Amino acid sequence: MAPGSSWAAKPGPGPTPVDWNRFHFSLDNAALNGQETTITTKNAGRLKTLWTFNAGAVIYGSPAVSGSRVIFGTANGTLWILNKDTGTVLKSLALGQNAYGSGAYMTPSVEGDFIYYQDAFGNLVKYNMSTDAEAWRVTAPANDAGFSSPAVYNGKVFAGLSNGTGDAPCTVGKMQAFDKNTGALLWSWDAAPAPYVGGGIWNSPAIDTARNLVIFATGNPPNGSAACGDPIPPNTPGDYTDSIVALNADTGALVWYYQAIQSDSQDLDFGGSGAVLFNDGTRDLVGAGSKNGKFYTLDRATGGVAWIDDLTGQCVLGCGGIFGSAGAAYGKVFLNIGTNRNSANIALDMKTGAVSWKNGGSSAQYGGPAEANGMVFSGNSNSLLIMNATTGAVLGSYATGGQIDCSPAVSTGRVYFGSSDGRLYVLTP
């Protein structure tokens, strides 16, 4: 055809759809599937239920979707492996229960037929789904618990340990690295100095591959009410409680840390809200939300503060804190706030932390978002909302019988998410 003709070449095939193989999709924990094209802003309001599965208990574990399988955990300590097309049970694994009443909060990391997961007691397992056998198991110290979704990177498995004795910690929070093939311990890092305890790691580490850093957030110290732990005095060397921390991935050496609260006596730690990595156009940043309702954003090279946003006033009658992990895409950070009866889905400008938009809701919001194709997928009250990432306009709403306590997974033209009504839902155009 001649130049300037109105004829246009037929588009070539798009990128091959990819699986959602780990917590929040990628090592940066941004929860963005940039290759999802089947679900669009035009059909998001017309998604239909492909199938649901009644797991019989609250679903806390965000789903992992890989190959023909979808994998998620429930409050009764069961890890379910289902056929992703039909919901047929392929396998269920008993992960036990700790003082918090569950051993299946985490999302396993999947590599082919292998999954890496923590059970209720913090034991780390590499499991072969094809042969129905453990490749290896690492036993955690007594009184520990597992809520951390493992990160697999450069031949290593990284996972945190928290206390299994309730909100008055009796153990030291640890970040550890293991050999992916053998399970051998390569290094271990403590969040509190002896003889103190606390600093449990409840969230999933992010990996800054450019700087070879493992980045995560820590929990609170004892408040003095527990027989097994005294408060940590301010300015105690080695006190990394209520902090965002960066370690060298090869050695476990401390690179930098930022302590948000010293001598926390009110359980205002980072909890389930772990590190999310993003670039605001000029800076490599990391952010995490605290149960004090603030979102802390630091420079990844130095650990210096970029901006801090207090979001407690963004809900009618107040929000409470941030519990779920954030996502990041399209120049914004997306998160849920609300640990009481008021909540909101919020988008923040990556550069400044200014609120770009919000959608208010009721009931607590313990899960986080997922992003794909210009949209944000997130729980709000008892529904999954699909929102325009730029404006926050609600494109679709899908009601369940309970609040949504986990982040969704968006993979190969489907949305997978669980509810406190005990069901896993799968939506598709």
Per-residue H/E/C for 317-342? CCCCCCCCCCEEECCEEEEEECCCCE
What are the phi and psi torsion angles at 46 (to 5°)?
A: -120, 25
Mean pLDDT, residues 148-153: 96
* Residue 10 pLDDT > 90: no
Mean pLDDT, residues 33-47: 97
* Residue 2 pLDDT > 70: no
| Angle, vertex CA 259, rays to CA 219 and CA 324, nearest 5 | 45
What does the CA dihedral 317, 360, 268, 226 come to, rounded to 10 degrees?
80
pLDDT band at 12 (very low <50, low <70, confident <90, very high): very low
* Residue 223 pLDDT > 90: no
Place of tokens 């949209």: 375
186-190, 363-367, 409-413: range with lowest mean pLDDT? 363-367
- 172-193 pLDDT tens trace: 999 999 999 999 999 999 999 9
pLDDT band at 355 (very low <50, low <70, confident <90, very high): very high
Place of tokens 């979808």: 70
The overall average pLDDT reported for the chain is 92
Structure tokens at 253: 């050496």
Mean pLDDT, residues 310-325: 92
Share of the chain above pLDDT 90, in %: 80
- 100-119 pLDDT tens trace: 766 688 999 999 999 999 99
* Residue 34 pLDDT > 60: yes
pLDDT at 8: 33
Residue type present at position 204: S
Residue type present at position 240: Y
- 255-311 pLDDT tens trace: 999 999 998 888 889 988 999 999 999 999 999 999 999 999 999 999 999 999 999
